[in-house]
Amino acid sequence: MIVSSPLLQVADLVTRFGAVTAVDNVSFDIRPGEIFGLVGESGCGKSATCRSLIRLFGGASAEIAGGSILFQGSDLAQLDSRAMEDVRGNRIAMIFQDPMTALNPTMRIGEQIAEGVRRHRGLKGEAARREVITLLESVGVTSAASRLAAYPHEFSGGMRQRVLIAIALACRPRLLIADEPTTALDVTIQDQILKLILRLRDETGLAVLMVTHDLGVVAQTCDRVAVMYAGRIVERGDTRQIFSRPAHPYTRALLDALPAHTGRGTRLKPLGGEPPDLSAPPPGCRFHPRCDFATAVCRAAEPSLQPIETGHDTACLRAGELGL
């Protein structure tokens, strides 16, 4: 059990993209050496949360409209762009979900990894080259020295993802954000990448924010998890608590669609409907249009996260009576 003080504390974070509030009063913390999961369907705000942490939006309409992001004594939400350049890629690094678009197709692999080594660690020439080789070897790229001159298209999908991890680790960050790092990979390569992240955590004390839509990935890797729906966290707790005692109907619906959780001979229950349009979310609980347990009060009152046991919170007005 991780008991150290938080490395990252996110409190009441609000991020807007024009008229859309993609991240709505989101709060969580991550401790050193912990793998913290952020799970939910596509479009629920997971990637927007990640990009908020490192202030990397790629659009003029995006803004952090409220809350704080405390990391090693600094509120990242308040830092200017120059100060964020010293954080991004250095103390906090991110693995993006599609390595083919995240890597520059016109640059050699060795040069792409060396950029961060030169920029943040001041290594030059042969020292930088040796460090790049060491990084590639650490993530399982064989014959690393001979592959420095290769381009991304010359690597397989799994190898490209390993290169992205090497780039992320180049400056020895304290926090690694892994945004759907295995989505584009087959099951065997996915397992190798997840085991690699676990090994790196164990060897370096790295903290990891693991972002995924796959609860199977959460079960395999995460110490704690937050379940996100329509821009908000609806349940948060220890991974074992979430899997054994889900307290929100959305979490339960996600688990009911997971073969490993339902057990042999049990019919899977697909979750009907779609997440709401975040430019005009429904009143009350945002999940109520898809919820089998919704009543009039769910359609009228907006639930907030409340503790139901030590370290386990849920945003369901009926959690106590439903006994999910």
CA dihedral 208, 212, 217, 219 (to 10 degrees): 80
Q: Are 218 and 225 in contact (CB under 8 A)?
A: yes
Condensed to tens digits (0 to 9), the pLDDT of residues 85-140 reads 889 988 999 998 777 788 999 999 999 999 989 988 888 999 999 999 999 998 98
Domain definitions of the chain by residue range: 249-324
CA 19: distance to chain centroid? 24
3-state secondary structure of 70: strand
What integer best gives the mean pLDDT of the chain?
A: 90
Find, among 199, 200, 197, the residue nearest to 210 by Cα.
Answer: 197
Alpha helices in the chain (DSSP H): 46-54, 81-87, 99-102, 109-121, 125-138, 157-169, 187-204, 215-221, 239-244, 249-256, 259-262, 296-300, 319-322
Number of Cβ within 10 Å of residue 202's Cβ equals: 10
3-state secondary structure of 11: strand
Residue 209: exposure state from Cβ atoms within 10 A (0-12, 13-18, ≥19): buried
Secondary structure element (H or E) that encloses residue 24, with its range: strand 20-30
**Residue 266 banded pLDDT, cuts 50, 70, 90:** low
From CA 70, how far away is CA 64, in angstroms rounded?
A: 14
From CA 165, how far away is CA 150, in angstroms rounded?
A: 17
Q: Are 264 and 56 in contact (CB under 8 A)?
A: no
- Span 163-168, average pLDDT: 91
Secondary structure element (H or E) that encloses residue 16, with its range: strand 8-17
State residue 99's pLDDT score: 77
Condensed to tens digits (0 to 9), the pLDDT of residues 242-258 reads 999 999 999 999 998 77
Q: Are 16 and 4 in contact (CB under 8 A)?
A: no
Structure tokens at 115: 């950029």
Find, among 189, 167, 213, 257, the residue nearest to 46 by Cα.
Answer: 213
- Work out the angle at residue 317's Cα, subtended by the Cα atoms of residues 224 and 267, and round it to the nearest 5 degrees: 65
- Span 206-216, average pLDDT: 93
Find, among 275, 268, 267, 270, the residue nearest to 234 by Cα.
Answer: 275
State residue 257's pLDDT score: 79
From CA 62, how far away is CA 202, in angstroms rounded?
A: 35
CA 236: distance to chain centroid? 14
State residue 12's pLDDT score: 97
State residue 120's pLDDT score: 86
Torsion sign across C-alpha atoms 251, 254, 259, 263: positive
The gap between the terminal CA atoms of the chain, to the nearest Å, is 25
Secondary structure element (H or E) that encloses residue 282, with its range: none
Non-local (6+) Cβ contacts of 42 within 8 A are: 213
How many residues are given for the chain?
324
Amino acid found at 159:
M
Condensed to tens digits (0 to 9), the pLDDT of residues 18-49 reads 989 999 999 999 999 999 999 999 989 999 99
**Residue 265 banded pLDDT, cuts 50, 70, 90:** low
Q: Is the pLDDT of residue 55 over 50?
A: yes
Would the pTM count as exceeding 0.85?
Answer: yes
Condensed to tens digits (0 to 9), the pLDDT of residues 8-19 reads 999 999 999 998
